[in-house]
Structure 1
Amino acid sequence: MTDPQLPPPSGAVPPVPPAPQQGAVPPPAAPVSPAPAYPAAPAYPSAPVAPGYSSAPAAPYQAPPGAYQVPVGGYAVPAGEYTAPEATPRRSPLLGVLALIFSLVAAVVTPIVVGVASYEIGRRIPEAMNRAEEFSSLAFLSPARDQVLWAEVSFWTGTILGIAAIVIGIMAIVRKQGRGQGIAALIVAVVAPIIFSVVVIAALSAGGATGVAGLAS
């Protein structure tokens, strides 16, 4: 460290400029040089215009006369929310099922009933024919009158049910209310009379053979 009482060495501290006197005019400031100006951008030449075209702004497009024009503002949205169309309700197959039931009764149940009755009629006819005084009066059927009644009832029942099955089956096909069942009912109802006749003939033959064998023994 240096002693404060000793003078500073020469060249260590720059001399302090004298204070300006009161009323003295300060020296003029040095002029400030202006900032350098940059050169302006060169102007590019405009693109050449093709012959037949104008540089003027294009006029708005107008539809030719007679053309379909979209309304101003677009199409109006219908009021209310979109609702999906209701599906076609499925029709009940009641008619087809009913026709099929009638046809099955006519083709299965009535032949069974008439088969049992015809067998008993055929079995009792040979004995009744020997006892009958007049064959033409159908008195030989008196021993089997109950069976004859059952055979007649089954015949008319099968006939009515078969006709009803055909009519209702056609209605079911036309109205599409059980179309498949209606077609099946028509087929079964047409075949039912054939089944009925075959069963009657077979049962009468079997019963008659049994009755003749009983008389012979």
Structure 2
Amino acid sequence: MKKYPIYFIVALVFLGVVKLIQVALFNADEYSKNKKASFSDPVEKVKPKTLQKKAEQKQPILTDTTTTSTSPEEVSETAQAGEESFQTEEPKEESSNPSNGSDITLSDLKNNYLAIKIANLPQGQLREDVVIRYYKHEKDGNKVYPLKKLGYYIHEKEANETQGLGSNVLYYGGDVNIEDIQIVAFTLLANGLPIKSIERSQFEWKSNAIEIGTDTLLLDAANLTNQEIANFIK
């Protein structure tokens, strides 16, 4: 048997050891790579696209329903307006006039009241729901008769006890509307008839009449004003 030198045997052993170390290192490296791959996030690598779509569909979709964006200043103004809407409004002062008609005029009464009354009348017919009882005075001239153009029927009677004087007072029946009393008073005053008082009639049978008469106790009294007629209440 051939004998090898000792140094040759040592070299072979050394090479064998090196080879074993290389094999061991290679296996350790592969093992490390495989281990790392096996413990990586399975969700990211295995998760199907269909599951991703379902997960996205479950997310709430928030859309802007307005066409324009709202700035913080606008939001603040809106909130302030909302607070003001819940504040109690101060009560408005009511008119001190009991009839609440201090601004009423003859034109208002003609357009809002009289026009409706006349519209329901047959052509050429005068009203029958209210009668003007007029005690004629020569001093009055024709100042009373324009009431006919407003649809009022005038029942005339000669004035005996107050001859030489003029008409100065209106008496109204309980069934006469306040609007008719005011229309007659406004018209007579505008035509120059010195109306000094408007009083309730003492006669029940004159309930639907407005009487144009004379009161000797009022001869020196001041004429009514348009404002006083507008404030008149029954």
TM-score, structure 2 normalization: 0.19
TM-score, structure 1 normalization: 0.19
Between 1 and 2, higher relative CO (CA 8 Å, sep ≥ 6) is seen in: 1
Structure with max Cα Rg: 1
Q: Which has the higher strand share?
A: 2
